[in-house]
Amino acid sequence: MRLEFVASLQSVDANAWDRLWPGTYPFIRHAFLLALEQSGCASAESGWSPQHCLVWQEDRLVGAAPLYIKNHSYGEYVFDWSWAKAYEQAGGRYYPKLLNAIPFTPATGPRWAADPGFNASQRMQVYQALWGTLRNVVDSAALSGFHCLFPAAEHPLLDPENLIERLDCQYHWFNQGYDSFATFIASFASRKRKNLVKERNRITEQGLHVEMTEGVQLNTGDWQHFYELYKCTYRKRSGHDGYLNEDFFQRVGAAMPDRIVMARAFFQGRWIAAALYFKDAETLYGRYWGALLEFDALHFECCFYQGIEYAIQQGLQRFDPGAQGEHKIARGFTPVLTRSLHYLHQPQFAKVVGRYLANERQQIGDYCAEARRQLPFNVNFTPVIPSVLLDGK
């Protein structure tokens, strides 16, 4: 096997790349990652320098990992700012670091690939070659460490002595065989069901109309307007235009329309807010939100309730609405554990971080278990949580 690093997926055949990832997870697709690069959102200028690792067997691509050299920790959603500060206070340089992740996307999924036609032993050879190369790169290239963010549960744990696991908690909705939104909220305790119904009723009471639009129905003008909504909200909250630009949305909208759906909100005939979703064969992913005007409960309607209703109608089994947000629990989103894996080049620093993360893992596990007891379901209803993620038990 031969390994190489490439500075852009533009040099990699799209079919060869996508063949390595046989599922339908949208964010690992060649089109999605290339749109990030070509739009400049994931580039050296933005602090996300692509350095994807490819594994070749003669002239056949048999393994890969999306990789970025990072000069900061923005857009990762696994927060290591305190690590960087401590590392630099001790006289080291935390940046640059090597990141195995999907930029700006805290959605659990595959992060390493081996040829799906390989047997288990051959796949392990690919993974071992990847890990050996990546560790050597970190140790020899003045990088502080390697970080794998939001890997799927089946991600190979190749080096448990040196790869430190970090846990976090997100809130996901799981389909329990519901045939309608009404069936879903029928599983709630009475008072909590009334609160949710009241919240949804606020949309029509304020003269708002919300509809779901498939990606194939969106044109370039729609994407231009969506970007204005997205940019407006980012400016209000953060003082900048957001991590993504209009060029990215135009590119991904043209390349992956079958993997996109958008909740659009109208007031007096004017399109004033939207939530953008991606989807695969089993899961809906809530990703980006923007609004020109503020209305009571509109964010919850567009980003949560429309997504649940759509998932039920389409027979999807899970809805991942994005990172953070305890307020999701009261709306039927179950706390689940997610993880990241970290290799730190400096052994003493790795030991300190390892001890910290051991305590943090216990705290996160306890929090997740306690948070599940706050779910709004009737005492006689116990949702079944598949093992697509760490289950948080």
Residue labelled with tokens 């970007």: 227
pLDDT digits (tens, 9 = 90+) for 266-286: 999 999 999 999 999 999 999
Residue labelled with tokens 């959102």: 41
Nearest to 137 by CA among 63, 51, 43: 51
Bridge partners (DSSP) listed for residue 169: 337
Q: Distance between CA 8 and CA 61 in Å, rounded?
A: 15
Q: Distance between CA 33 and CA 17 in Å, rounded?
A: 11
pLDDT digits (tens, 9 = 90+) for 204-220: 999 999 999 999 999 99
pLDDT digits (tens, 9 = 90+) for 24-79: 999 999 999 999 999 999 999 999 999 999 999 999 999 999 999 999 999 999 99
pTM of the model: 0.95
Token representation of residue 120: 């288990």
Contacts of residue 47, Cβ cutoff 8 Å, sequence gap at least 6: 70, 71, 72, 74
Token representation of residue 305: 């309730």
Domains of the chain with bracketed CATH? 2-170+337-372 (3.40.630.30), 176-316 (3.40.630.30)
Mean pLDDT by 10 residues, the chain (393 residues): 97 98 96 98 97 97 98 95 93 96 97 96 95 95 94 82 93 96 96 97 98 98 98 88 96 98 98 98 97 97 98 97 92 94 95 95 92 91 66 47
User: Which pLDDT score, from 0 to 100, does residue 141 have?
Assistant: 85
User: Which pLDDT score, from 0 to 100, does residue 393 have?
Assistant: 44
